[in-house]
Amino acid sequence: MIEELSLVLPLSRPTETDTSLAALVESYSAVLFRVAYSILRNQAEAEDIVQDTFVRVIEHRRALSELRDTRVWLVRIAWNLALDRRRRIRPEQMDDAFAQQLPSRNLAADIALDEAQQIQTVFRHIDRLPRAERQALLLSALDELNTSEIAQIMNKTESAIRALIFRARAHLRERLNKGDKA
């Protein structure tokens, strides 16, 4: 990814902005990928979102020095881009590789397959949650953001985010305990 950005950046001597941009790519590309992938569940689409996020950074690089929380700003850009892209992706375009990669590689094949199927079931139930609950839960659980960061991304109060996460977990627990088929 850094190599791709170097094509966009000037080939002259690196400026302080160029250096900080490379540092941003190195520091945040993994978390931005997780954010995009948690929404899109498609590796190629998630990688595109990460690149699009840094293109936005390049377009607004003059504002970088004014940011209070760069991580939240970047996650919010990736989050919004992924939500926009998700509206255009059909469910059959989403891959199940994410769920299959989560179980430990040290497990026997039959146990790993069973765990992957359970994880896919959980994701199907998450997809059926109300939109705001689903978004808050994904940002919290998969992207490991704290309540204040999620509140900034979703434009809600921290108490509203805590309530959304609580309700999402309760709904998810209820559905999983019932054994509902997604």
Residue 9's domain is classified under what CATH number? Answer: 1.10.1740
pTM for this structure?
Answer: 0.55
| Residue type (1 letter), 50 | V
Is 22 a domain residue?
yes
- Check whether residue 47 and residue 104 sit in a common domain: no
Q: How far apart are CA 115 and CA 101, in angstroms?
A: 10
The mean per-residue pLDDT over the stretch 142-163 comes to: 88
- Check whether residue 46 and residue 121 sit in a common domain: no
Q: What is the CATH number of the domain that holds 145?
A: 1.10.10.10
Say what the pLDDT of residue 158 is.
Answer: 93
Distance of CA 37 to CAs 9, 66, 85, 90, 122, Å?
26, 28, 11, 15, 16
What token pair was written down for 94? Answer: 């989403």
- Check whether residue 37 and residue 82 sit in a common domain: yes
Is 31 a domain residue?
yes
The domain boundary residue, chosen from 39, 62, 86: 86
Residue 62 sits in which domain range? Answer: 2-86
Is 127 a domain residue?
yes
Is 40 a domain residue?
yes
Is 91 a domain residue?
no
The domain boundary residue, chosen from 86, 113, 128: 86
Say what the pLDDT of residue 19 is.
Answer: 58
Exposed, middle or buried by CB within 10 Å (0-12, 13-18, 19+), for 8? exposed
Helices within the chain (DSSP H only): 2-8, 16-40, 43-59, 70-86, 97-101, 109-127, 131-137, 147-154, 158-178
- Check whether residue 165 and residue 143 sit in a common domain: yes
- Check whether residue 11 and residue 81 sit in a common domain: yes
- Check whether residue 80 and residue 120 sit in a common domain: no
Distance of CA 23 to CAs 30, 55, 76, Å?
13, 15, 18
First to last CA, the chain: 36
- Check whether residue 72 and residue 128 sit in a common domain: no
The mean per-residue pLDDT over the stretch 13-37 comes to: 76
Secondary structure class of 91 (helix, strand, coil): helix
Q: Is residue 110 very low, low, confident or very high in pLDDT (cuts 50, 70, 90)?
A: low
The domain boundary residue, chosen from 33, 67, 86: 86
Say what the pLDDT of residue 180 is.
Answer: 53
pLDDT at 77 over 70: yes
For the stretch 36-72, pLDDT in tens is 888 887 888 889 999 999 898 888 777 766 777 888 8
- Check whether residue 61 and residue 12 sit in a common domain: yes
pLDDT at 107 over 90: no
Say what the pLDDT of residue 12 is.
Answer: 42
Q: How far apart are CA 150 and CA 165, in angstroms?
A: 10
